[in-house]
Structure 1
């Protein structure tokens, strides 16, 4: 059985998919009531699963009429993917940022689930078993080379 965080994430993604504006506004309290959980659970899902690295922009307004707006940020057109990869990765990249980029590419259907799994395995800190900052530099080089070869067809 899926946990409550997975259910909330899927519910929000479905709302985004059905939205004509490409964004949704929710109220934490209302969503918490719907899922019979505390508002902090909603905050947790939004802050961990709807990040910029994963392709989402989140805007929050607290207070009486407070809301959370989640907007999907589309990847650049295919001809500018190389630039986007270089800009996101740079000379070194932390594992969390790299995984976020892989997630974003998988969500945009630019890499398959299997390709994403292979990419994650290759950039994992246990795979690149060297000390920082060299590990982040190696991760950036590996990821950039693999993504460019996968995406430039």
Structure 2
């Protein structure tokens, strides 16, 4: 079989917690590497997706905070100058009509709206709220922005309960 190393955790090795650690070693031959590559690809495919709309200071900070988590993070922005300032290793899209991207987002994903423009926020939110299969839709804003957004939803005939 595979080599095994069984280590008691105790005073013999300078540990005080007790217990045991068992390490199993697998030789990285071609089939083992192929199996690992397949498992890693499947793990990547299954990661929940978070779509951040806006790469200004809030969007960049959010992307930085989400990057170490087991998520696949996408940032959508209308301004190339903002995308150029991204410090996180995230997927990004430059799109002058970001609301159109909502249709491409897979079911179960989260959408966070933090653009530089209220009208743009509202267009993106309207598209996202029209879907029933997203895990989360959130938008940053003040109390007055929220009131304005709810008023816009009322005018559009969209039920308020979807925005609370």
Give the shorter-chain TM-score range.
Answer: under 0.3
Structure 1 length-normalised TM: 0.27
Structure richer in strand, relative to its length: 2
**Structure number with higher relative contact order (C-alpha < 8 Å, ≥ 6 residues apart):** 1
Larger radius of gyration, structure 1 or 2? 2
Structure richer in helix, relative to its length: 1
